[in-house]
Amino acid sequence: MKFTDMLRQAQQAHDSMLCVGLDPEPARLPGAWRGDAARIFDFCAAIVDATRDLACAFKPQIAYFAASGAEAQLERLVVHIHRVAPGVPVILDAKRGDIGATAEQYAREAFERYRADALTLSPFMGFDSIEPYLRHADKGLILLCRTSNPGGSDLQAQRLASGERLFEHIARLAAGPWNAGGQLGLVVGATYPQEIARVRALAPTLPLLIPGIGAQGGDAEATVRAGWRADAPIIVSSSRAILYASAGGDFAEVGRRVAQTTRQQLNAARGVN
């Protein structure tokens, strides 16, 4: 099944726009697991189990696994997600950005080794940095467009000779000539709701992955009002607020409650109770 179809079905089945980010830091693991990188899988799997009926997607960030030598645990985790939450897509957050044979290897890593359903990419080397991934026809490719960090303006907000800002040009390409197979989405940060709205206007049907709510300061209501349309999915990611809601043995239970509250806030912003 194509990523976009999986995403829409998961959103409908779970009445959810919430993506649970999986960014495990050994130093922040609960209780006796604290500092033990060997328990990364156990921690993330418990969060998945607790939120599997609340999420429209799960988003493991590869750096948190690789930095701890936990790539094998990431492989196990994706298998676990597909088993306990069938139909909920896994977005591997890696932000790859290379070309040619190297990009082909990154695509194999994401889609064959880790068996992700979608991958975040940096498009700043142009279409050459997208094309090798497009050969995996059922996979989603989510391009950095207008990111939530303050320094994103250094490049993304700059005006081109055409008068467009760079992030607007990326949105237009992703919604048009780059997206012949219907595989593309865009990353737009929750800290810039006006620019979410601008990207949505330029890319009216593309999935938007929106990080930055919760710990990063983005407003859930403003985010949904800017980006959500009935025929245009948004994937609103929350990581730390859910993962580290409790430092005790009840971390999964408390994380579930935070996820429930976040889902309700997102739904309320689009008029769904």
- Is the pLDDT higher at 177 or at 1? 177
Q: Do the strands 140-146 and 234-238 form a parallel or antiparallel pair, or are they unpaired?
A: unpaired
Across the range 103-132, mean pLDDT stands at 97
Active site residue 95: yes
- Per-residue tokens: 227: 């980006």
The C-alpha atoms of residue 94 and residue 61 are separated, in whole angstroms, by: 6
For residues 111-116, average pLDDT: 98
Average pLDDT, the chain: 95
Which of 27-36, 39-48, 197-206, 208-217 shows the lowest per-residue confidence on average (mean pLDDT)? 208-217
Reported confidence tier of residue 48, pLDDT bands at 50, 70, 90: very high
pLDDT value, residue 273? 39
Q: Confidence class of residue 216 from pLDDT cuts 50, 70 and 90?
A: low
Predicted TM-score (pTM) above 0.85? yes
Mean pLDDT of 12-38: 97
Residue 206 has pLDDT above 90, yes or no: yes
Q: Which two tokens stand for residue 261?
A: 């509250």
Residue 218 has pLDDT above 80, yes or no: no
Measured CA to CA, the distance from residue 256 to residue 273 in angstroms comes to 18
Could you say which of 2, 59, 95, 139 is catalytic? 95
pLDDT at 167: 97
